Structure 1
Amino acid sequence: MIEFIDVHKTYTNEVKALHAINLKIEQGEFVAIIGLSGAGKSTLLRCINRMHDITKGKLIVNNIDVATLKGKEIRRFRRKIGMIFQSFNLVTRTTVLKNVLVSFVPDAPLWRKWTGVFSKQHKFQALTALDKVGILDKAYVRVDQLSGGQQQRVSLARTLAQHPDIILADEPIASLDPVTSKQVMDDLKDINQNMEMTILMNIHHVEVALEYADRIIGVRKGEIVYDGKAADVTQDILDDIYGGKREDMETIEQEEAYV
């Protein structure tokens, strides 16, 4: 469970990114956060795993008060929260398998970190994760030989190998074409349904959010202006979330995709 209780976030330059956020997400939900760029979507997501510290309020994740964690406690806490980025964050000059095995490094003995030698159990877990996202056949291929969609699936496999309770996806399909976007979103949906894993996704593509997520959270200027079922979202609700600017944003995004 994730619970925001009157959470505020103000950056050092006095920019107020989040204001009075009250939100509860239960285990196994698939939630999409939508809104204009700069609305606070990424900040909301990144506060959950302490990539950003909140300024005021309380954030509870699986009965842990996130703001009270320190040092090793933060690293241990993050092991149960997978993070998928728009930029993939992979080591492109090595193999797919080695990129997935990286997920075991924080818990590995010092000698394994120095030698880069992993146990058979770790390799089995990594290969199983690759199989779940449909790229087991790419295990020994260098990452820089893969398409963007395949690289994002490697990133997803690396996250799955951790056996997290929650996956946070920050614009997971922003740099992908429509076909590979569908493959990645299908993977996320399968993981959510078959593994009952909570998925919280920040996304610009409204139609994709409505198709795949069960619940939509609309953010505008750091505040939640909609929280409800995806099936209940109307054009009036979207106009309220985007301030009537959604069509302009989509036009810009489509132009950027082809530059």
Structure 2
Amino acid sequence: MIEFINVGKTYPNNVRALDNINLKIEKGEFVAIIGLSGAGKSTLIRCINRMHDISEGELIVDGVKVDALKGKEIRTFRQRIGMIFQSFNLVTRISVLKNVLVSFVPELPFWRKVTGIFSKDQKIRALTALDKVGILDKAYVRVDQLSGGQQQRVALARTLAQQPDIILADEPIASLDPVTARQVMDDFTRINRETDMSIILNIHHVEMALEYAERIIGVREGRVVYDGKAEDVNQDVLDFIYNGKTGSPEPDGREEKYYV
């Protein structure tokens, strides 16, 4: 479980990125975070794995107070959380398999880090992850010979090889064409269902968010202004998230999911 309790984040330039965030995300949920650029979506998910520190409040993941972790504790904690970026973050001049094996570097003894030798179990885990995302046949191909969609799948396989409890994805389909984006979202859905892994996406493609995610969190100006089922999101809800227009507050007429 991920729990935000009165969480705020202020950057050194005094920009208020998050303001009084209160959320609970249970294990196995598939959540999409939507909102305008600059609303605080990326900051929200990057606080979960301590890429960003919170300024106040508490952030708890499976009973661990994330904001209290230090040094090696942070590195150990991050091994439980996979992170996928829009830019893929791959080494394009080496093979697909080697890119996936990179996920094991933090847990290697020093001599393996120096020699670049991975264990048989790690290679099996890497190949299994590639198989799960449908690109096992590309294992020995250089990454720069792959399409954008295939590269994003390599990034996803690298994350799966870590066997994390949570996957965070920051605009994972922003640079992909519609067909490829749908393939990647299908991968997320299948992984979520087969492994009960929590998946939290920051995404601009509203139609994709509504189709694939079970839960939608709407963020505006650093605050959560909507939190509910994807099936309950209609145009009034979207207008409220993106424009601040109240309209009809909610499909069922209740207002408690909206707060500013």
TM-score band, normalised by shorter chain? over 0.9
Aligned twin of 1:255: none
- What CA distance in whole angstroms lies between the structure 2 residues aligned with 1:244 and 1:236? 10
Secondary structure class of the residue paired with 2:88: coil
Scaled by the length of structure 2, the TM-score of the pair is 0.93
Structure 1 stretch displaced more, 115-124 or 143-152 = 115-124
Deviation of the 1:244 alpha carbon: 7.0
Aligned twin of 2:159: 159
Matched, 1:100 2:100: yes
Matched, 1:26 2:31: no
Secondary structure class of the residue paired with 2:47: helix
Aligned twin of 1:64: 64
Deviation of the 1:141 alpha carbon: 0.1
Deviation of the 1:45 alpha carbon: 0.5
Aligned twin of 1:184: 184
- What CA distance in whole angstroms lies between the structure 2 residues aligned with 1:36 and 1:68? 30
- What CA distance in whole angstroms lies between the structure 2 residues aligned with 1:33 and 1:182? 17
Secondary structure class of the residue paired with 1:60: strand
- What CA distance in whole angstroms lies between the structure 2 residues aligned with 1:225 and 1:86? 25
- What CA distance in whole angstroms lies between the structure 1 residues aligned with 2:96 and 2:179? 21
Aligned twin of 2:144: 144
Deviation of the 1:171 alpha carbon: 0.2
Aligned twin of 1:2: 2
> Deviations 1:5-52 (Å, cap 9, x if unpaired)?
000000000000000000000000000000000000000000000000
- What CA distance in whole angstroms lies between the structure 2 residues aligned with 1:218 and 1:58? 20
Please identify runs of 4+ aligned residues in structure 1 that moved more than 6 A. Answer: none
Superposed, which structure 2 residues align to 1:66-215 within 5 Å? 66-215=66-215
Structure 1 stretch displaced more, 115-124 or 212-221 = 115-124
Scaled by the length of structure 1, the TM-score of the pair is 0.94
- What CA distance in whole angstroms lies between the structure 1 residues aligned with 2:116 and 2:9? 39
Deviation of the 1:160 alpha carbon: 0.2
Code of the aligned partner of 1:119: S
- What CA distance in whole angstroms lies between the structure 1 residues aligned with 2:184 and 2:116? 29
Code of the aligned partner of 2:205: H
Code of the aligned partner of 1:167: I
Aligned twin of 2:55: 55
Q: Percent identity?
A: 77
Secondary structure class of the residue paired with 2:17: strand
- What CA distance in whole angstroms lies between the structure 2 residues aligned with 1:184 and 1:155? 11
- What CA distance in whole angstroms lies between the structure 2 residues aligned with 1:244 and 1:74? 37
Aligned twin of 1:43: 43
> Deviations 1:229-250 (Å, cap 9, x if unpaired)?
00000100000100079xxxxx
Deviation of the 1:87 alpha carbon: 0.2
Code of the aligned partner of 2:203: I
Secondary structure class of the residue paired with 1:83: strand
> Deviations 1:114-144 (Å, cap 9, x if unpaired)?
1111111110000000000000000000000
- What CA distance in whole angstroms lies between the structure 2 residues aligned with 1:118 and 1:223? 44
Code of the aligned partner of 2:153: R
- What CA distance in whole angstroms lies between the structure 2 residues aligned with 1:47 and 1:58? 11
Aligned twin of 2:241: 241
Count of aligned residue pairs for this structure pair: 245
Code of the aligned partner of 1:172: P
Code of the aligned partner of 1:63: G
Code of the aligned partner of 1:111: W
> Deviations 1:80-116 (Å, cap 9, x if unpaired)?
0000000000000000000000000000011110111
- What CA distance in whole angstroms lies between the structure 2 residues aligned with 1:55 and 1:38? 18
Cα RMSD (Å) of the superposition? Answer: 0.9
